[in-house]
Amino acid sequence: METRFEHAYVLNVVADDHPGIVAGVGSAIAALNGNIDSCSQTVLHGYFTLIMVISLPEDMAPEALAEEVRGHGEALQVVARPFELLGGPFAEATDRFVITAFGADKPGIIQRFTQYLAGKDINIVDLYGDRQGDQFVLISQVEIPRRWELAMLQADLEQIGLEEGFTVRLQHENIFLATNQLRLSR
């Protein structure tokens, strides 16, 4: 990942959800002449969470950065740390896939699927789970190492689904986007 400036940070923000949180965080970064290089934000049952990689033209102590961001919002919990481009075990060639699973809710569903994925060195890059009534839906975007046979992974996931009473699908990210019309026009 490339940052705009030399001094990059990872910023985590948690708060009770309300309008204007992202605007406040963005204002704090703009006041420091910084740039938002990438971000991901979600709300779960009234709780807001945001993670950003930002870059600044000047070096800044992480706690001073966190305090600056806290000053631009109401009751924000903010953690900042220096950004480092992480390599390591996830540096092998992968393809992105989407796994969807849904069925009757019961304890241990997320653990069962994620434990299988971890055992295959499959990295979860995005995860969404939600219980509505007695049903649970799980959607995860994963990076699957190219060394794995996809038919075997699909069969394993379907077997876990069968044992847990869930319907499971594994789709390449491009197919998922195309069939769900989520692609942004460029």
Reported as a single tens digit per residue, the pLDDT across 145-156 is: 999 999 999 999
Condensed to tens digits (0 to 9), the pLDDT of residues 58-83 reads 999 999 999 999 998 779 999 999 99
Distances 90 to 93, 94, 113 between C-alpha atoms, Å: 8, 8, 19
In a domain, 132, yes or no: yes
In a domain, 151, yes or no: yes
In a domain, 185, yes or no: no
Condensed to tens digits (0 to 9), the pLDDT of residues 117-140 reads 999 999 999 999 999 999 999 999
Q: How many domains does the chain have?
A: 2
Q: Residue 16 is part of which domain span? A: 7-82
Q: What is the pLDDT of residue 96?
A: 93
CATH of the domain at 29: 3.30.70.260
